Structure 1
């Protein structure tokens, strides 16, 4: 199995039970080893009292992209901690794109940067996620034990 095939199969296994990301309206548009892109169109129910995309929605989109990137090797992995900086507001009708990129993977710990942009390329937020591998896999691979 190639790394891309493993990442796609890992994403499919996770997506099957990821009710939160589906509920929010996210879509996986790309996945590869250590990388993932998720997108979301900002709907009225995503907006806060200022009429802009709620920061929690932006965080959730970035966090989901982070999750698919750090689980792309079929090793169960969770967030250890995350930070986000909001740089511009998302607005109703915007198509937000969260692109996660692995910066470092050493043993059980990983560091990922996730950039959230809108359809015009405006940077909405920068997110850094720190991951920790735990026991288990997303799917059983033939001839391998982890």
Structure 2
């Protein structure tokens, strides 16, 4: 099923250029995957936190836009639980916690996929705001 989130992701050059893959989106949830490449590793030989934030933020955007109206971030926080490394396959899963009026709260967990289990790498909380449709100039 193609949702507004799928259409938004197809137009998201930044996320797709980093190799992100939208696995699923709909009804206030989304799952996105990304592999850590050499270009994403910092001077400590771990994934730069900005890339982890970007993965979580993209997943958040897909979840909050799955309802249809254009929705943007009003704010977000991330907690890095452990480091990601070169070659890690990461999966981010977003779930809507609540929507009220034009606002929403979404939680995203970023996992490292390993044989047999998932290890939490980061926890992200995003606050969304639905943008009002443009006013008709007539």
TM-score normalised according to structure 1 size: 0.86
Does the Cα contact within 8 Å between 2:33 and 2:92 map onto a contact in 1? yes
Report the counterpart of residue 77 of structure 2 in structure 1: 83
1:29 Cα deviation from its structure 2 partner: 0.7
Report the counterpart of residue 64 of structure 1 in structure 2: 58
1:132 aligns with 2:129: yes
Pairs within 5 Å for 1:29-48: 29-48=23-42
Q: Cα deviation per residue 1:38-77 (whole Å; 9 max; x = unaligned)?
A: 0001111111111111100000000000000000011100
Does the Cα contact within 8 Å between 2:30 and 2:62 map onto a contact in 1? yes
1:107 aligns with 2:101: yes
1:31 Cα deviation from its structure 2 partner: 1.1
Task: List structure 1 runs of 4+ shifted beyond 3 angstroms.
Answer: none
TM-score normalised according to structure 2 size: 0.91
Q: Any stretches of 5+ residues in structure 2 without a counterpart?
A: none
1:15 Cα deviation from its structure 2 partner: 1.9
Report the counterpart of residue 9 of structure 1 in structure 2: 3
Higher share of residues assigned strand: 2
Report the counterpart of residue 68 of structure 2 in structure 1: 74
1:13 Cα deviation from its structure 2 partner: 1.5
1:98 Cα deviation from its structure 2 partner: 0.6
Higher share of residues assigned helix: 1
The more displaced of 61-70 and 8-17 is: 8-17
The alignment of Structure 1 onto Structure 2 pairs a total of residues equal to 131
Q: Any stretches of 5+ residues in structure 1 without a counterpart?
A: 138-146
